[in-house]
Structure 1
Amino acid sequence: MVKIYLDPGHGGNDPGAIGNGLYEKDVNLTIALKTRNILTDEYEGHDIRMSRTSDVTKSLDARTDEANAWGADYYLSIHINAGGGTGFESYIYNGSYPGKQETDRLRNIIHNTIMQHVDFQDRGKKEANFHVLRETVMPASLTENGFIDNPNDAEKLKSDTFLNRIARGHAEGLAQAFNLPRKEQLDGVFYRVIAGSFLVRENAEEQQNKLQQKGYDSFVDIFDQDGTRYFRVVAGSFTDRANAEIRETALKEDGFDSFITTYKN
């Protein structure tokens, strides 16, 4: 059982960065809760604890002490940046310590997966002497998800759909890093999000390329109806319909007509 500790930064009387009508503490918490929910709904083989699940004050020592005492296998701290820049970046501790190579390997997987889901500028994989990275005894990383004082970044952070994409990047990154198995529905029913249905396979593959450019993974499924063969582009398959609806909304916002169908395995 992989123990994952999610840490939405700041909270309570510590708002974090403020800009463009947003408080960092609120956005951090929203992303962390969405990340937890995706992992809980879609994956197994893990246990999750959070430093906070509401707007409360919690010291940095309390967070790292809690994770260390629990015996967490991974510590992921979620933040929003400030200071006039733009884009996404991630951090690990900049010291010399046993396990640094493994810490960096896990961070690379999570960082790269997040970048597949968002259209932020990639500011790179960095190191810093942050408390939550230095005082944790397990591998740890910290993500900075856009700049709250940048109007373009802030506009994205005001979109619930975009926050879903950030959260999905974090969740799927953790799942890949720790090889978490997907949950199997007892009845074998999945909710597929179809982002195009074509009579010619080449057209479906062209749609796949367009989706890939926007950060969506997809595959082509052959569907026969009334003697006609269609090549459907599946841009997401979920055991939870709510997650399928989130993906459908995101696709539509990115200009892709889509709809949800059920599929029984």
Structure 2
Amino acid sequence: MKLYLDPGHGGQDPGAQGHGLNEKDVTLDIALKLRTILQNDYENVQVKMSRTSDTTKSLSQRTSEANAWGADYYLSIHINSATSSASGYEDYIYIGLSNSLTAKNQGIIHEEVLNVNELKDRGKKKANFHVLRESSMPAVLTENGFITNAHDAALMKQASWRQKVAQGHANGLAKIFHLKRKSQPEPTPPIPSPGTLYKVIATSFKSRENADELVTLLHDKGFEAFVNSTTISGETWYRVQAGAFSDRSNAEERLTQLHKAGFKDSFLIAE
């Protein structure tokens, strides 16, 4: 899918103004967010923007560029203005189209954007706008709220709202062109943090010689064992360790084996 994405106005043309906002800034931010969503989330998507910064570009330059590129769809993003009481979302296709694929696509965009934009529905409309008339591919122009309305403008000032509007447009385009989501890479498994270690102690001695003798006896019985010294209340003790397990059930099984083999003083410690 080749999308020509047209943030309205720009440069010397600020577009509509109100409540400290310029239309050209809001439309550009929504369009840039939309481009990022499409390129990051979907396969086989190409996006060409009429502008990616605050530059001046004529309407004829925009449509000529889209036509020469061979875009599959022309999406023009705008913000409305009127009296302070006017509010809500509406979109437009060329006035000469009815019962067409373009009209069907308009309905999909309309529904998906309204699902997320928290604006009143002003309906699907038609107009003789240049970008709709002169573009040779299906085209829609969306009017995303009224910059002259306090409620709508308050939303426009929120980056999270502009992100949602971009996502609504992306959802509509994904439905129209049956876009396939990119497969997400498998998350890197977290490095396990050190857990509890269950040590099986055959017994402890104050005498190293006695501990060594028990190690020999355990070896004769088929158990791996070694001496591990530790200090308790200022005294050195020699523990004969016969296993260490992260799973307590495995440690308990080894302890049972030791008891059955006659090493009744065996016990577990958790560290």
Larger Rg computed on CA atoms:
2
Runs (5+) with no aligned partner, structure 2 = 189-271
Matches within 5 A, 1:230-245: none
- What is the CA–CA distance in structure 1 between the aligned matches of 2:113 and 2:180, rounded to whole Å? 19
**1:158 is aligned to 2:151:** no
- What is the CA–CA distance in structure 1 between the aligned matches of 2:149 and 2:88, rounded to whole Å? 9
1:186 to partner: Cα distance:
3.4
Q: Tell me the equivalent position of 2:259.
A: none
Q: Tell me the equivalent position of 2:90.
A: 89
TM-score (ref. length: structure 1): 0.68
**1:80 is aligned to 2:79:** yes
1:188 to partner: Cα distance:
6.0
Q: Tell me the equivalent position of 2:107.
A: 108
Letter in 1 for 2:176: A
Moved more, 177-186 or 142-151: 177-186
**1:46 is aligned to 2:45:** yes
**1:20 is aligned to 2:19:** yes
8 A Cα contact 2:92 2:141, kept in partner: yes
Matches within 5 A, 1:178-197: 178-187=177-186
Q: Tell me the equivalent position of 1:196.
A: none
Distance 1:163 1:127, change over 3 A: same
Q: Tell me the equivalent position of 2:144.
A: 145
Q: Which runs of 4+ in 1 moved over 6 A?
A: none
**Alignment partner of 1:117: what SS?**
coil
- What is the CA–CA distance in structure 2 between the aligned matches of 1:102 and 1:188, rounded to whole Å? 40
Deviations 1:98-135 (A, max 9, x none): xx600011111111000111210000000000000000
1:96 to partner: Cα distance:
4.8
Letter in 2 for 1:86: S
**Alignment partner of 1:44: what SS?**
coil
Q: Tell me the equivalent position of 1:61.
A: 60
**Alignment partner of 2:100: what SS?**
helix
8 A Cα contact 2:4 2:74, kept in partner: yes
- What is the CA–CA distance in structure 1 between the aligned matches of 2:50 and 2:123, rounded to whole Å? 26
TM-score (ref. length: structure 2): 0.67
- What is the CA–CA distance in structure 2 between the aligned matches of 1:110 and 1:62, rounded to whole Å? 25
Identity rate, percent: 58
8 A Cα contact 2:112 2:171, kept in partner: yes
Q: Tell me the equivalent position of 2:269.
A: none
Runs (5+) with no aligned partner, structure 1 = 190-265
8 A Cα contact 2:97 2:103, kept in partner: no
Q: How many pairs were matched up? A: 186
**Alignment partner of 2:119: what SS?**
coil
Moved more, 127-136 or 177-186: 177-186
8 A Cα contact 2:16 2:80, kept in partner: yes
Deviations 1:222-260 (A, max 9, x none): xxxxxxxxxxxxxxxxxxxxxxxxxxxxxxxxxxxxxxx
**Alignment partner of 2:148: what SS?**
coil
**1:70 is aligned to 2:69:** yes
Letter in 2 for 1:41: N
- What is the CA–CA distance in structure 2 between the aligned matches of 1:187 and 1:152, rounded to whole Å? 42
1:185 to partner: Cα distance:
2.0
- What is the CA–CA distance in structure 2 between the aligned matches of 1:63 and 1:49, rounded to whole Å? 11
Q: Tell me the equivalent position of 1:228.
A: none
Deviations 1:135-187 (A, max 9, x none): 00000000000000001110000001111111100111111111000010232
Q: Tell me the equivalent position of 2:241.
A: none
Letter in 1 for 2:157: K
Distance 1:186 1:92, change over 3 A: same
Q: Tell me the equivalent position of 2:128.
A: 129
Deviations 1:84-108 (A, max 9, x none): 21000000000258xx600011111
